Amino acid sequence: RSLLKWSWRLTYLSAVGGLAYVGYGVYEMRNPPEQMEPDASKKTLVILGTGWGSVSLLKKLDTEHYNVIVVSPRNYFLFTPLLPSCTTGTIEHRSIMEPVRNFLRHKKTAVKFYEAECTKIDYEKKVVYIHDDSEIKGDVAATEVPFDMLVVGVGAENATFGIPGVREHGLFLKEVGDAQNIRRRIMDCCETATFKDQHPDEIKRLLHMVVVGGGPTGVEFAGELQDFFENDLRKWIPEIADNFHVTLVEALPNVLPMFSKQLIEYTEKTFSEEKITIRTKTMVKNVSDKYIEAESAGPDGKKRLEQIPYGLLVWATGNAVRPVVKDLMGQIPAQKDSRRGLAVNEFLVVKGTENIWAVGDCAVANYAPTAQVASQEGAFLARLFNQMGKSDVIEQELQKLSDEQEKAPTKEARDAVFHQIKENQKRLRRVKQMGPFEYSHQGSLAYIGSEKAVADISWLTGNLATGGTLTYFFWRSAYLSMCFSTRNRILVIMDWVKAKMFGRDVSRE
Ligand code: FAD
Ligand code: NAI
């Protein structure tokens, strides 16, 4: 009985402790302390972008060592792994956004943020040109920002491979606005399909949801869309049930090429059970407003071009280099052979430069363009810059000490300063000892619909390839723990509960 009593007390105490901890966390978040003003004599560090790479750097950077300036057209961080869930309203987009102002305001020394796009980086002049792209513009909408050190973390844009009609008729899935457009278009297609006197062929076309690209973006979106149909749409709009259909088109022989063979087969089997059609070895060549033209091998093995009608077209064929990055590459001779982005060395320094670093999807460092890589690169740069900042301070101290040593009146005083110099030199050597960037792969995860996920996870003992409902709970808890803040975590959980209790919202905004 006394054991039971004690365990009750312990549970009670830990609950109170947990609540107090969360409460303090919320209080601290809502009440940022006073910040120090940046020291004008320090170097100016300009960081481009507020995505995975740049934000991971900012999170861990000791801002007192630099004058930090952040430039990005987006004044928030976006947790992209849960973006496919926003296309169907399983998660509301604001739940996976974190305003940069919130976390910048918590840095010890103030950081300047300019909501603007960097239109050009002038390597020789050490200047970035920025442009306010928002709706409201002041008298000054374009200006320049000089830098001593620059971090390029602008990510990548959507690849279209120059295929005609993609930009005009297809929808991408990279930003919040994209997810909102897709959500709106799904509902528009459903409502238009039920319009009075609509022809059966037109109904079929409008309810044909085509996803091009069988990478993780395309697969996760197709899974989410089929869930939306099965759990909500067919219930509230039963007249679309016979015609609503999702097709995933992929040029290669299989989807999810980065996963193991076993998980690829599991995904393809699950999709077939979910009634999602996968068209592999099918390359889209042209897009018009109502159909795509795709090339595939016919039954006789000969290539044929086929017209596939669609109502919604989501284009998810990977990344392309942004113009601002291409332009910078053109200014640096050492970048002339690089095609996929800024070639960097093992310290993430842009090859051919001394004061420019690159992180994430815009950097080419022989890793896949993922959030996992970008955030580890950002954290590495933070450690590097913190050490550089500390060594600058130690070097200044050393300079002061050597001046003192010269002026010291007695041998004892000179010896005392000499001892301090030795200590500082030791500290400096320690601080300067930092190895190159090493990526540690934690594994790959993807949601494939009907509450199933696939995971290729790296364990101590090797790799584990797993798929199914348990993996889905692992997927959820892993992404929840990776969310930017406690606020995001709580909002995402609330969205999941809301979607489970009331279903997803089928109104068209
Ligand atoms: P981004 O996160 O794209 O950030 C780029 C930043 O630069 C943005 O703030 C942008 O506004 C800003 N910017 C753009 N142009 C300019 C400019 N000219 N000047 C200044 N700023 C600029 N990876 C995973 O590891 N796991 C996942 O589950 C996963 N899921 C994903 C789901 C989706 C739908 C998508 C699209 C991607 C997913 N990824 C995932 C990939 C991951 O999101 C990217 O690899 C990651 O975002 C790259 O980080 P980044 O910092 O390089 O770029
Ligand atoms: P991707 O590059 O991984 O896949 C694009 C696919 O489109 C390729 O398989 C390609 O063969 C296909 N394709 C290209 N052109 C085509 C055409 N004309 N017709 C038909 N198919 C065509 O792109 P994705 O999925 O956007 O991912 C980008 C990056 O983000 C990747 O590095 C990926 O790993 C990462 N990511 C990771 C996720 C996860 O871990 N869960 C989720 C989403 C993205």
> If you measure from the C-alpha of residue 446 to the centroid of ligand 2, how many angstroms do you get, rounded to a whole number?
12
pLDDT beyond 80 at 24 = yes
Residue matched to tokens 């062929």: 201
Distance (Å, whole) CA 321 – CA 343 = 12
% of the chain residues with pLDDT over 90: 82
Q: Is the pLDDT of residue 150 over 90?
A: yes
- For the cut 80, the answer to whether the pLDDT of residue 449 exceeds it is yes
Whose atoms come closest to the Cα of 115: which ligand?
A: 1
Question: pLDDT tens digits for 170-223?
Answer: 999 999 999 999 999 999 999 999 999 999 999 999 999 999 999 999 999 999
How many A from CA of 250 to the centre of ligand 2?
9
Q: Is the CB of 252 under 6 A from ligand 2?
A: yes
Cβ of 216 closer than 6 Å to ligand 2, yes or no, is yes
Return the ligand 2 atom nearest residue 255 CA.
9
- CA dist 477 to 59, 260, 466, 471, 472, Å? 22, 22, 15, 10, 9
Residues 82-109: tens digit of each pLDDT:
999 999 999 999 999 999 999 999 999 9
Pocket test for ligand 2, best of 87, 220, 250 (most atoms within 8 A of CB): 250
Dist. CA 448–CA 273, nearest whole Å = 11
- Distance (angstroms) between ligand 2 centre and the Cα of 172 equals 12
Q: Is 85 in the pocket of ligand 2 (CB under 6 A)?
A: no
End-to-end CA distance of the chain: 59
Instruction: Tell the residue number behind the tokens 């993609």, with chain if given.
Output: 166
Give the pLDDT score at 460: 64
Residue nearest (by alpha carbon) to ligand 1 atom 36: 174
Complex ipTM over 0.90: yes
Q: Residue 89 and residue 91: Cα distance in Å, rounded?
A: 5
53-62 burial: b if 16+ Cβ within 10 Å, else e: bbbbbbbebb
pLDDT band at 429; cut points 50, 70, 90: confident
CB 277 within 8 A of CB 310: no
When pLDDT is averaged across residues 254-269 and rounded to a whole number, the result is 94
Three-class DSSP labels, 97-113: EEEHHHHHCCCCECCEE
pLDDT in the model for residue 237: 97
Which are the contacts of 474, defined by CB distance < 8 A and separation ≥ 6? Answer: 445, 453, 455
Q: Mean pLDDT in the chain?
A: 95
pLDDT band (50, 70, 90) for residue 416? confident
Inform me whether the pLDDT recorded for 463 exceeds 80. no
Mean pLDDT to the nearest integer, 22-40? 87
Residue-level pLDDT at 408: 87
Centre of ligand 1 to C-alpha 94, Å, is 17
- Is residue 461 pLDDT above 70, yes or no? no
For residue range 291-314, what is the model confidence (pLDDT) as tens digits? 999 999 888 889 999 999 999 999
Q: 409 pLDDT band (50/70/90 cuts)?
A: confident
Element (H, E) at 4: helix 2-30
CA-CA-CA-CA dihedral for 349, 352, 355, 357, to nearest 10: -30
Phi, psi of 331 (to 5 degrees): -85, -15
Distance CA 391, CA 431 (A): 6
User: Ligand 1 centroid vs 52 CA: distance in angstroms?
Assistant: 6
Distance separating alpha carbons of residues 154 and 49, to the nearest angstrom: 5
pLDDT of residue 501: 97
Q: Is the pLDDT of residue 69 over 80?
A: yes
Kindly give, in sequence order, each residue whose CB lies less than 8 Å from that of residue 11, ignoring residues fewer than 6 positions away. none
